[in-house]
Every structure is written in structure tokens, then in C-alpha cells.
Structure 1
Amino acid sequence: MQVHQLGDGVPEVAVVAGIHGDEPCGPRAVGRLLAAAPDVVRPVKLIVANEEALEAGVRYTEEDLNRAFPGDPNGDTHEAQLAHHLMSELEGCTVLALHSTQSTAEPFAVAETVDEIARAVVPHLSVTKLLETEELAEGRLIQHPHTIEVECGLQGSDEAAENGYRLVREFLAATGSLPTASPAALSPERAADGAFDGGANAASDGGTPAGTDAESAIEVFKLIDPVPKPPAGEYEVFVENFSAVRAGERFAAADGEEFTADTSFYPALMSPYGYADLFGYAANRVGVLDERRA
């Protein structure tokens, strides 16, 4: 595990990349930020987690790291021990975790639930959708308090790496670590006025404008069930993620056998080969972000 820091002091903000070794967008974004070495208002911890899996170009070496949290220092697998050490590094931090997917090129945010951190950070990110995981988050880093995940785009693509870099800067601006999401000038004094003040300029770097208008533009979906797939040699998915599937509509196939929806749902993280034993997940659309207040 690589651990880097921008700025002096004890970081309360962290970015995690490389949880999965076949998702290079996050490590590329972190490397680009380290090379840029921006002046930060608050110190930031930058972590590249599963170096062994990244080197091998595989999702994990022994166990899916994003199903292994909170981990075990004496665990039987590399990832079980790594999960424990990563949790220790993240103690006391607000966290952005970078991922990529085979399901959609459009970036979106993921949170265990719409809490104060999601409401404060997500409007400053260049996303239009937020996915709640709740009880389906078992073993995932997203259960760590004050953690937001972003799916940056299609796995292995240059666009996902570019999106990841932009989203990192937007997150750091939203948390007051950068004065603005772009290199454009904004005084550190103004950013220091409030933890999330700097994110107001996220739109200058392609971000979503802050405030109620941004919140009303972000659709919120909630996972309800995994969608299993049977053993087969060839899989197909016929639907678009986050677009409604009606009861009776076909949504996927395995070796030519088609599957139709028993009830209407919204597909999320659904793709032919993204998961070994799932097509993805069924979700409900539950509103927009400014309606999901505690």
C-alpha cells in the first residue's frame, strides 16, 4: 500500500485508489495529482491500496478487498490484512474512493446512505446520479463513516482516468482542501472559512454547481436486490443502467436464454461480465438529492 500526503499536519481528508487492481483510473488520477503537487489548504492523504493486484492487473489476489472490510490483521488473505491496515490509515478522515465499472461511461456517486457528508460533497461533483447501497454494502469500504465512492467511467479507459482526476479535485475543493476544483485562483482564506466552501467553484472545472440547484439535478437511486446470473459461456445485457425496466421486459441473457423482469426496476452496475456471479443490481429511483434530507 502506498500512502502519500499533500500539505503539513494530520490529514482529515483522504483519497483511496486501487482498491481493485483492474481499475487503473484511480491510481492514474492520484499519480497525476501528486505530479501537479497543488498547494492545499488542508492536508490530504492519498492512498493506492492494492499494489499487488494492480501489478498483476487483476481485481484481487486472494479475496475481493471491497468485500473484506473491516479486515483482520491476522487474516488468512492478503486482502483481509490490507483492509485492516487501510482502515487504520483512514481513521478520522472524510474519504473519496475511486472505482471504475463495466456498466456505464457516465460517472456517478455511491454512498451507503444520504447523510450529511453525501449532501455536502456530492453536489460539488460532476455527477448526476447518486446510488445508495444501505444493507447491500456488507464488507465494503463505503461502510466506513464519511465515505463517498465514485464510479469514474468504463474500466481501463482514458476517459475514466480523466474523470477520476477531475472528481478528485472537485472532492478536495468540496472539503476545503483545495481552494477551487481548477487551478483558477481563489484565496485560501475564503476556502478556510468553511469545510465545503471551496467546492462552490467546482463548475469552473466541469463540476456541478453547488447549492440547491445542484442537489435538484442529482437523481438518487437505492439498491434493492442483486441480480444473479447462472453459469454460462456468453452473457448479454439489453438495458441501460439507471433507465427504467418495466415488468415483463427482457433485461439480460445467458447463452441465449433471456431473462425478463418480474417487477419494474432500475438497473445499476449492470453489465455482462462486470461480476462473476451477478448481472448487477436492481434499484429504485427514490427522488432527487434535495428531497433526501434527514
Structure 2
Amino acid sequence: MRVETLGEGDPEVAVVGGIHGDEPCGSAAVEAVVEADPDVARPVKLIVANEEALKRGRRYVEEDLNRAFPGSPDADTHEGRLAHDLLTEIRGCEILSLHSTRSYAAPFALVDEMDGHARSICPYLSVEAVVETSQYSEGRLIAYPDVIELECGLQRSAVAAENARALVREFLVATGVLPGDAEPPRQHPLSVFCLDQRIPKQAADSYEVFVENFERVAEGEQFAAADG
């Protein structure tokens, strides 16, 4: 895990990329801020989490880091130990966690619940919608207070990397780390969806999605396929 700090004092804001090694947009966005080394009004931690998985270009080394929290220093797996170390590093911070997806190009946010913190930040991010995952957050970083997870676009795409950089800047402005006027990037209320049922996802080499996120699917309509 790589941790860089900008500014003086104890950071109360953190940006985390590289939770998954096959989602490089987040680590690239973190590294871009580190390289730019901007003047900050509040100190911030910039973290590349699973460096070993990123090096291998794989989602994880031994288990999914975003299902391994809280972890333990004595865990049997690389990610189990890393989960503990990461939580220790970001304790007490407002946290942005950067991801990408195989199925949807537009950025969207995930939160455990749309609480006061989420309401104070999410409207200022260029996301299509927010998804509450409270029933299904176990083992994930967003199960912890003041965490916003962003899906920045399609996995390994240049657009996802560009989106991640823009979203990090918006988050840092919204949290007062960077100067600027935080203004909602839309002229309409931000849509919020609640995840209330998990759809089983069988193991497969490839997946296809036939519908758009956040659009109603008619009963009986096929919305996805695994291995054709």
C-alpha cells in the first residue's frame, strides 16, 4: 500500500484507488494528484491500496479486498491483512474510493446509506445516480462511516481514467481540500436508488448486459447473460 500526504497536519480526507488490481483508473487518478502536488487548504491522504494486484493486473491476489473488511493483521490472505492496514490508515477520514465496472460507462456513486455526509458530497459529483447498498455492504469499505464509492466508467478505459481524475477534483473541492466553488453539475435532483435484492451472478468467462442501469426492466425481459 502506498500512502502520500499533501498538506500540514493530520488528514481528515482520503482518496483511495487500486482496491482492485484490474481497475487502474483509481490509482492513476491518485498518482495524478500526487504528481501535480497542488496547494491544499486541508491535508489529504492519497492512497494506492492493492499494489500487488495492480502489478499483476488481477482483481486481487488471494481474495477480493472489497469483501475482506475489516480484515486482521493476522489474516491468512494478503487482502485480509491489507484490509486491516487500510482501515487503520483512513480511520476518521472522509473517504472517496475509486472503482470501474465492466457493464456501464457513466459514473455513479454507491453509499451504505444516503446520510448527511453523502448528501453533502454526492450532489457535487458528476455522477448519474447514487445507489444505497445498506443491506449488502458487509465486507465492503462503504460499510464504514463517511465512505463514498465511485464507479468511474468501463474497466481499463481511457474515459474511466479521465472521469476518475475529474471526480477526485470535484470531491476535493466539495470537502474543502482544494479551493473552488462547489456547484452541483446538474440542473435536476440527483436520483437515488436502493439496492434491495441481490441478483445471483454465476461464474463465467464473459458477461453481457442488455439493458441500461437505472432503467426499468419489464417482467420477463432478459437483462444479462453469462457466457452467451
TM-score by length of 2: 0.95
Q: CA deviation at 1:243?
A: 1.2
1:227 to 199, 207, 211: 199
Answer yes or no: is the 8 Å Cα contact 1:108–1:130 preserved in 2.
Answer: yes
- Measured after TM superposition, the shift of residue 92 of structure 1 is 0.7
After superposition, the Cα gap between the structure-2 partners of 1:9 and 1:219, relative to the gap in structure 1 and judged at 3 Å, is same
Following the alignment from structure 2 to structure 1, what is the Cα–Cα distance between the partners of residues 169 and 205?
41
| Residue of structure 2 in register with 1:126 after alignment | 126
Query: Which has the larger share of strand?
Result: 1
Partner of 1:21: 21
Aligned residue number for residue 247 of structure 1: 219
C-alpha distance in 2 between matches for 1:114 and 1:234: 33
Hey, what does 2:7 align to over in structure 1? 7
Matches of 2:27 and 2:223 in 1, distance apart? Answer: 33
Deviation of residue 127 (structure 1)? 1.1
The structure-2 alpha-carbon separation of the partners of 1:43 and 1:55, relative to structure 1 and needing over 3 Å to count, comes to: same
Could you say what secondary structure the match of 1:152 adopts? strand
Q: Structure 1 CA distance, aligned partners of 2:135 and 2:126?
A: 26
Write the distance in 2 (CA, Å) between the matches of 1:32 and 1:229.
Answer: 34
How many residue pairs end up in the alignment? 228
> Which residue does 1:189 correspond to in 2?
none
1:235 CA drift (Å): 4.3
Contact 2:24-2:54 within 8 A present in 1 as well: yes
Distance 1:38 1:79, change over 3 A: same
Q: CA separation of 1:56/1:247 partners in 2, compared to 1, >3 Å: closer, same or farther?
A: same
Comparing 228-237 with 108-117, greater Cα deviation is found at 228-237
Alpha-carbon distance in 2 for matches of 1:134, 1:12 = 24
Distance 1:131 1:251, change over 3 A: same
Question: In structure 2, the residue corresponding to 1:199 is in which secondary structure?
Answer: coil
Larger relative contact order (C-alpha < 8 A, sep ≥ 6)?
A: 2
Q: Using the alignment, how far apart are the partners of 1:93 and 1:254 within structure 2?
A: 38
Instruction: Give the superposition deviation at 1:232.
Output: 5.6
- Partner AA of 1:199 in structure 2: A
Amino acid paired to 1:33: V
Q: Which moved more, 1:12-21 or 1:127-136?
A: 127-136
Change (3 A) 1:73 1:223: same
Tell me, yes or no, if the aligned pair for 1:109 and 1:122 is still in contact at 8 Å: yes
Instruction: Give the structure with higher Rg (CA).
Output: 1
Q: Which runs of 5+ in 1 are unaligned?
A: 181-197, 201-206, 257-294
> What are the superposed Cα offsets for residues 194-245 of structure 1, whole Å, 9 maximum, x if unpaired?
xxxx423xxxxxx616xxx55x1x1111112222244566643322221110
Measured against aligned partners, the alpha-carbon deviations of 1:1-31 in whole angstroms (never above 9, x if no partner) come to 0000111110000000000000000111011
CA 1:159 to 1:234, structure 2 compared with 1: closer, same or farther past 3 Å?
Answer: closer
- Secondary structure of 1:15's aligned partner: strand
Correspondence for 2:185: 208
Alpha-carbon distance in 1 for matches of 2:172, 2:117:
13
Match of 2:116, as an amino acid? E
Coordinate RMSD, CA, aligned: 1.6
SS at match of 2:224: strand
CA contact 1:171–1:199 (8 Å) conserved in 2: no
1:239 partner letter: V
Deviations 1:20-58 (A, max 9, x none): 000000111011111111110000000000000000000
**2:63 aligned with 1:80:** no
Query: What CA distance in whole angstroms lies between the structure 2 residues aligned with 1:233 and 1:18?
Result: 22
- Percent identical residues: 59
- Give the Cα–Cα distance (whole angstroms) in 1 for the partners of residues 44 and 118 of structure 2: 19
For structure 2, the 5+ residue unaligned runs are: none
Paired position in structure 2 for 1:273: none
